Amino acid sequence: MTQKRAITVAYGDGIGPEIMQAALDIIQAAGAQLDIEVIEIGEKVYLRGNTAGIEPSAWESLRRTKVFLKAPITTPQGGGFKSLNVTTRKMLGLYANVRPCTSYYPYVDTKHPKMDLVIVRENEEDLYAGIEHQQTDEVVQCLKLISRPGCEKIVRYAFEYARQYNRKKVTCFTKDNIMKLTDGLFHKVFDEIAAEYKDIENEHWIIDIGAAKLADTPEAFDVIVTPNLYGDIISDIAAQITGSVGLAGSANIGDGCAMFEAIHGSAPRRAGQDLANPSGLLLGAVQMLVHIGQADVASNVHNAWLATLEQGIHTYDIYKEGVSKEKVGTKAFAQAVIARMGTKPEKFAPVAYKAAATISIKPSPTKVAKKELVGVDVFIHYKDRDPNKLGAAIRGFKAGQMNFNMITNRGVKVYPDGFEETFCTDHWRLRFKNEEMKPSTYTDVMELQKQVMQAGFDIIKTENLYTLDGKPSFSLGQGQ
């Protein structure tokens, strides 16, 4: 007899409690050996004034069991509440978000009968760093952070996953034609690591045309690895075009802990009506069973679920006249799966999970470069909106080896030689640097700031400009 495994469960908000009950009933009927600790997270906790949406006792449970089965939660809009999903993924180091999206044609209607892909989404970085500021009346900003170890971990995970699950190709999606440093690093690391996996095909698509191709011809893809935001968006699209966003499960994997969920949200409009499809969360629970070494139970659940689908027993989101046989609610769907426990699908190929070795990735040691300070971008809040007046006021400023270089507004060069047509906001960047990349010091940066400040300008922030091993590590102005 398999030993009971402690897991932490959260019933969540909206449709969460209904689909969690359904998923737990099904996996327990299949013989899952679980010792369940229930925690409360989400809306109720937020509304008690806890902006994180989770109490310290819940963290203790998660850090003890290291396995979390989580129903979707509602993040109240406004009010400064931080997304608990993002917090959990980052606090527990769950860097890999694995989202399989498969179509079940002809038993579930879809325009994409041959779709069977897995999205491996980076889960800790990118615009989800959640570092946002408003420093002028008109402009807000969000910091996009991409790290080399972060890229290495997720890209290597995608290739290791492809090998473990016998997948043939890994595709990388980025927007590195525009974001040359951030997405450029992700793409570069992808190329470096892809070269080590000679048995697996690799390719890169720019995210815009890649997403279009994914929506049009998803069968062209196998494993897709991509930064956080793109992965979030394309996995909803991918799940939806299999037939319903309610069909896909998701695993969030870290070195120690793991969290399993549906990819969809709490669908508050469907809550409490016994309508929601529990399949996404159930398939998340199947991923969990494989993860905790109960692969036989996972196979039983998955096969009974496939048998239910192919027999046309469908919740409202996938029900289609002429394709489906019976429209059922959440509870009846769970009962139908339980009634088929121990049977195998006849039309779909049965699933046979094997105990999978945990994929453990160690990023390579940091290569320390020779870093030299060669300039600074000084950002100001300037309400006059006259680039020529601003330019005339500051172009003589210099300190150390740094001289005035250019002024941009929202990244576009507006001085010298700007265009009248360029729209300017109240958020300006003044760039000072040495043309030959000769080094200055931070004291020089402070001296420049002093000159800008004494001329009456409102400094909102600075960014230092460096060369790393002699190469500039900052982007040019648009139009430069």
Where do contacts with ligand NAD occur on this chain (CB under 6 A)?
15, 19, 72-75, 85, 245-246, 261, 264-270, 276-277, 280, 317
- Give the shortest CB-84-to-ligand NAD separation in angstroms: 8
- Residues 6 or more apart whose CB falls under 8 angstroms from that of 168 comprise 162, 200, 201, 222
- Give the shortest CB-224-to-ligand NAD separation in angstroms: 19
Residue 87: which region, alpha, beta or left (left: phi > 0; alpha: psi -120 to 50)? Answer: alpha
What's the rounded Cα separation, in Å, for the pair 93 and 247?
26
Residue 74 or 409 with smaller CB distance to ligand NAD: 74
- Give the shortest CB-12-to-ligand NAD separation in angstroms: 6
Residue 231 or 418 with smaller CB distance to ligand NAD: 231
What's the rounded Cα separation, in Å, for the pair 285 and 249?
8
Residue 211 or 262 with smaller CB distance to ligand NAD: 262
> Of 5, 91, 6, 4, which Cα lies nearest the Cα of 41?
91
Q: What's the number of CA atoms in the CB half-sphere (13 Å) around residue 467?
A: 15
- Give the shortest CB-19-to-ligand NAD separation in angstroms: 6
- Give the shortest CB-211-to-ligand NAD separation in angstroms: 18
Residue 72 or 375 with smaller CB distance to ligand NAD: 72
Residue nearest to ligand NAD (CB): 265
Taken in order 146, 100, 98, 123, the sign of the CA dihedral is: positive
Residue 244 or 467 with smaller CB distance to ligand NAD: 244
SS3 337: helix
SS3 381: strand
> Of 190, 269, 268, which Cα lies nearest the Cα of 226?
190
What's the rounded Cα separation, in Å, for the pair 451 and 430?
12
What's the rounded Cα separation, in Å, for the pair 95 and 409?
35
Residue 98 or 189 with smaller CB distance to ligand NAD: 98
- Give the shortest CB-328-to-ligand NAD separation in angstroms: 12
Residue 71 or 224 with smaller CB distance to ligand NAD: 71
Token code pair at residue 122: 């980076």
> How many CB atoms are closer than 10 A to CB 53?
27
- Give the shortest CB-324-to-ligand NAD separation in angstroms: 14
Token code pair at residue 188: 């570069």
What's the rounded Cα separation, in Å, for the pair 251 and 283?
9
Residue 82 or 410 with smaller CB distance to ligand NAD: 82
- Give the shortest CB-46-to-ligand NAD separation in angstroms: 10
Residue 207 or 281 with smaller CB distance to ligand NAD: 281
- Give the shortest CB-262-to-ligand NAD separation in angstroms: 6
Residue 57 CB burial class (10 angstroms; 0-12, 13-18, ≥19): exposed
| Peptide bond connecting 416 to the previous residue in cis, omega within 30 degrees of 0 | yes
- Residues 6 or more apart whose CB falls under 8 angstroms from that of 326 comprise 312, 313, 314
